[in-house]
Amino acid sequence: MNSRKIGLYGLGTMGAALALNMAEKGVKVEVANRTPSAVLRFLDDAGPLAERIAGHQSLKGLITALPTPRLLLAMIPSTAPMDAFLDEVIPLLSPGDTVIDAGNADFHDTRRRATLLAEHDLHFVGLGVSGGEEGARHGPSMMMGGSEDSWDGLEPILSAIAARHDGDPCVARCGPDGAGHFVKTVHNGIEYADMEMLAEVYDLLRFGAVRDVRDVAEIFAKWNQGPLESYLMEITGKVLSYADAPTNLPFIDVILDRAGQKGTGRWTVIEAVRLGQSATMIEAAVAARAWSAEKPLRETAEETFGADRAALDIDADMLERAMLAARVLEYAQGFRILAAASVEYDWHLDPVRIAQIWRAGCIIRARLLDDIAAAFAESPPKDQLFLSPRFSSVLMSGIPALREVVTRAAQAGYPLPVLAAALTFWDTMRQGRGTASLIQAQRDFFGRHGFERIDQEGDHHGPWWR
Helices (H), 358-435: 368-378, 392-412, 417-429
- To ligand 6PG, the closest distance from the beta carbon of 219 in angstroms equals 24
Residue number, 22 or 362, with CB nearest to ligand 6PG: 362
- To ligand 6PG, the closest distance from the beta carbon of 416 in angstroms equals 20
Distance CA 440, CA 289 (A): 34
Single out the residue of 200, 174, 169, 199 nearest to residue 186, CA to CA. Answer: 174
Is 191 one of the binding residues for ligand 6PG (CB under 6 A)? yes
Show contacts with ligand 6PG in window 326-385 (CB under 6 A): 362-363
Cβ count within 10 A of residue 148: 10
Catalytic residue (choose from 30, 191, 196, 330): 191
Catalytic residue (choose from 184, 196, 200, 283): 184
Number of helices (H) and strands (E) in the chain: give both, helices first: 19, 10
Phi and psi at 85, nearest 5°, equal -60, -45
DSSP H or E stretch at residue 110: helix 107-119
Buried b (16+ CB within 10 A) or exposed e, 217-241: bebbbebbeebbebbbbbebbeebb
Residue 229 falls in the annotated catalytic set: no
Is 12 one of the binding residues for ligand 6PG (CB under 6 A)? no
* Interface pick for ligand 6PG out of 230, 264, 268, 333 (rule CB under 6 A): 264
Asked whether the beta carbons of 354 and 385 are under 8 A apart, the reply is no
- To ligand 6PG, the closest distance from the beta carbon of 136 in angstroms equals 8
Residue 191 falls in the annotated catalytic set: yes
- To ligand 6PG, the closest distance from the beta carbon of 96 in angstroms equals 30
Show contacts with ligand 6PG in window 80-109 (CB under 6 A): 104
Binding mask 244-263 for ligand 6PG (x = CB under 6 A): ----------------xxx-
DSSP H or E stretch at residue 128: strand 123-130
Residue number, 232 or 399, with CB nearest to ligand 6PG: 232
Single out the residue of 419, 412, 257, 232 nearest to residue 325, CA to CA. Answer: 419
Distance CA 203, CA 307 (A): 14
Residue number, 71 or 195, with CB nearest to ligand 6PG: 195
Handedness of CA 159, 164, 169, 175 (dihedral sign): negative
Is 132 one of the binding residues for ligand 6PG (CB under 6 A)? yes
- To ligand 6PG, the closest distance from the beta carbon of 262 in angstroms equals 4
**DSSP sequence for 291-335:** HHH-HHHHHHHHHHH----------HHHHHHHHHHHHHHHHHHHH
Is 188 one of the binding residues for ligand 6PG (CB under 6 A)? yes
- To ligand 6PG, the closest distance from the beta carbon of 456 in angstroms equals 49
Is 163 one of the binding residues for ligand 6PG (CB under 6 A)? no
* Per rule CB under 6 A, count of chain residues that contact ligand 6PG: 13
Binding residues for ligand 6PG, per CB under 6 A?
104, 130-132, 188, 191, 260-262, 264-265, 362-363
Q: What amino acid positions are annotated as catalytic residues? A: 184, 191
